[in-house]
Amino acid sequence: MDPLRPQREVVEEAGRALREGLLVAFPTETVYGLGAHALKAEAVARVFLVKGRPPDNPVIVHVGYPEDVEVVAREVPKAALLLMARFWPGPLTLVLPRSPAVPDVTTAGLDTVAVRMPSHPVALAIIRAAGVPVAAPSANRSGGPSPTRAEHVLEDLGPDLDVVVDGGPCPIGVESTVLDLTGEEPLLLRPGGVAKEALEAVLGRPIRLGRGEEAARSPGTRHRHYAPRAQVMVVPGPELEAAARRFTAQGKRVGVIATRPIALPAGCHVRVMTNGLPQYARELFHILREMDRLGCDVVIAEAVEEKGLGLAIMDRLRRAAAR
Ligand code: TXA
Ligand code: MG
């Protein structure tokens, strides 16, 4: 459907399906989500089953209005209110104390819940039509690249879903930023669509990145993530060409993601992101899937500076590269 003018009947039907406990995939501004009634344990359990998601990895609960955060969170700290006022609706997920209304499967048994209000008109309309909080992890098979187009969702999960709403490509392309507000100080658990610098400006303090022990607070960061079949390598711009030549010489089929046009050996598949970090983020997961389809053995991606959206891009690339 038209991403800017969601059709009423389709929205109502998708909302009804969610309310009844069915699985509905829909576009958000970040990636496609696989939605289920967040308060119905059986519906959320089916999400884990269909995705092949480890049961210790909680899902994000999506709300249609800021006030609805109170349905799923026991307490909303002042920092959360500040951030919600500035970044909701949008790609910011807040980890808050969980309300007893939220079943264990949704939060993987944690005493906290991750909540966000998406800004995509189709996502918002469907969640509002459902009239219930909607649990929605990315609508991909667990471990693979996230889906940024309806085709990706159909490729990965098509036969197992009840409804797939096609609203075109997702405008941001990497997932929401996840910020934990349940500890002594705010902790960035996953960089994403809202820049860390923008959060720091609103909170008036530096934000630490959750690492090691703390990363366990966002269980998803422990699992294999975003990886296509091809081996992924992240290299600085000046080394791209040499790396591509080395693998081509070994008889490998090579894909390259670069930020500027470069000379490459014949047979390399190259995608050039001349429109900056937003384009890199928007197209990254699509390109990783495309390179698999082209039969690439290796994808060599140009590293970017870890500032703004660059932090999220590098996070996804590193995880895709980890074996
Ligand atoms: O942009 C997004 O956030 C997309 C769209 C669909 O909204 N959703 C998404 O969901 O990326 P998912 O399930 O693929 O990633 C959720 C992340 C995981 O890393 C998970 O561990 C973390 O959020 N998370 C969920 N609940 C949490 C909690 N209570 N505490 C800490 N981390 C949590
Ligand atoms: Mg995911």
pLDDT at 125: 98
Cβ atoms 303, 236 nearer than 8 A:
yes
Q: What's 110's DSSP letter?
A: -
Give pLDDT tens digits for 125-167. Answer: 999 999 999 999 999 999 999 999 999 999 999 999 999 999 9
Give pLDDT tens digits for 78-87. Answer: 999 999 999 9
- 3 state SS of 285: helix
Tokens of 161: 């879903």
Alpha helices by DSSP H, 75-228: 78-87, 104-107, 121-130, 150-157, 196-203
Average pLDDT estimate for 162-179: 98
In the chain, what are the helix, strand and coil shares in percent, each to the nearest 5? 40, 20, 40
Distance 147 CA to ligand 1 centre (A): 14
Q: pLDDT averaged over the chain?
A: 95
Give pLDDT tens digits for 47-57. Answer: 999 999 999 99
Lowest mean pLDDT among 49-53, 88-92, 251-255, 264-268: 264-268
Q: Which of 181, 218, 222 most suits a substitution to test ligand 1, by most atoms within 8 Å of the C-beta? A: 218
pLDDT higher than 70, residue 241: yes
Distance 206 CA to ligand 1 centre (A): 22
Buried b (16+ CB within 10 A) or exposed e, 167-180: bebbbbbbbbbbbb
Tokens of 71: 């349905």
> 300 exposed, middle or buried (CB, 10 Å; 0-12, 13-18, 19+)?
buried
Distance 146 CA to ligand 2 centre (A): 6
Query: Is 29 near ligand 1, meaning CB less than 6 Å away?
Result: no
Query: Is 220 near ligand 1, meaning CB less than 6 Å away?
Result: yes
Question: Closest ligand 1 atom, CA of 140?
Answer: 14
Query: Is 281 near ligand 1, meaning CB less than 6 Å away?
Result: no
Question: Which pTM value belongs to this model?
Answer: 0.96
pLDDT higher than 70, residue 220: no
Tell the residue nearest (CA) to atom 31 of ligand 1. 218
- Give the list of residues 6+ apart from residue 191 with CB closer than 8 angstroms, or none: 177, 209, 311, 312, 315
Tokens of 184: 């002594």
